[in-house]
Structure 1
Amino acid sequence: MYSSRRNRTGGSGVRQFEVIPDLTYKSGEQMEQLGKYGFLCRDYLKKHRNSTYQVMLLQDTIGKHLLEVDKAAREREEMILKQLEEKEPLPDKEKDQMAWVRVVNQHRAIAEEIILKELIYV
């Protein structure tokens, strides 16, 4: 299937058309399943590794790659959070909710920072 796009030219009055193929990629379906870390990786690739992003996009491997990164990041996040909870146990939520929220937010921030350095910004 092809679509055309009209290109307007200066005063010559001649209409020129450009034929653009309508390509469908499997990655489009996979992109719908992406989570936070998949989108962060995609944005990083677009901005800082654009040639790699374009190659993966044309080879239709970008969706698979981003899903793998997202899955690995979520698994790593769970593992880091468990390690942090073992190292610094959470306070009792019923006794001191603010302390519990503070510690949970700290743990999440630490885990996210590690994941971004190890998996996303490489």
Structure 2
Amino acid sequence: MQELNYILCGDYYTPDIRLPEENRPIGRWGRMHKDYIKEYNPIRFNDLCLSGKLWTCLADLNEQAQNRLELIIEQMKATEGITEVMKQHDQMAWIRAMNSICNRAEKIIIREMIYEENVV
């Protein structure tokens, strides 16, 4: 068991309970997931809030989603043959291709990690 410290407030002693310090940002993906679980899974949201693990969970998810996004983009670029040579010769085609890849990759991340859907 943890030892509790108490603070004197007026005539009463109240427990000095503090949440763990988390300095990592939750970012775009963490905010989206927070809104999703708050709306569609309130029991899990409340559990994470009350246990003090919400911010850590969201920061971890944000980092994982960002890493996965970068990986998916690189894999799609390799598959579709989007290279720096293409960027030098036809910039507008390269921009169109990269925008398409980024949009598709973000939809994959949103569906798999934010909304936690099983993608077949």
Could you say whether these structures have the same fold, taking a TM-score greater than 0.5 normalized by the shorter chain as the test? Answer: yes
Where does residue 10 of structure 2 map in the other structure? none
Find the aligned partners of 1:33 and 1:42 in 2 and give their Cα distance: 13
Cα deviation, residue 24, structure 1: 4.8
Pairing partner for 2:106 from 64, 87, 112 = 112
Where does residue 89 of structure 1 map in the other structure? 81
Which of the two has higher C-alpha Rg? Answer: 1
SS at match of 1:77: helix
Amino acid of the residue matched to residue 75 of structure 2?
A: Q
Where does residue 58 of structure 2 map in the other structure? 66
Find the aligned partners of 2:37 and 2:16 in 1 and give their Cα distance: 24
The superposition leaves residues 9-40 of structure 1 with CA deviations (integer Å, 9 ceiling, x where unpaired) of xxxxxxxxxxxx9975336x44x611111111
Contact kept? 1:73, 1:119, Cα under 8 Å: yes
- In structure 2, relative to structure 1, the CA distance for the partners of 1:22 and 1:120 (3 Å cut) is farther
The superposition leaves residues 78-109 of structure 1 with CA deviations (integer Å, 9 ceiling, x where unpaired) of 11011101101226223322211111111111
Pairing partner for 2:34 from 25, 38, 42 = 42
Contact kept? 1:26, 1:63, Cα under 8 Å: no
Matches within 5 A, 1:4-15: none
- In structure 2, relative to structure 1, the CA distance for the partners of 1:23 and 1:101 (3 Å cut) is farther
Find the aligned partners of 1:88 and 1:25 in 2 and give their Cα distance: 47
Identity %: 31
Alignment pair present for 1:57 and 2:49: yes
- What 5-or-longer segments of structure 2 have no aligned partner? 1-6, 8-14
TM, length-normalised to structure 1: 0.72
Cα deviation, residue 59, structure 1: 0.7
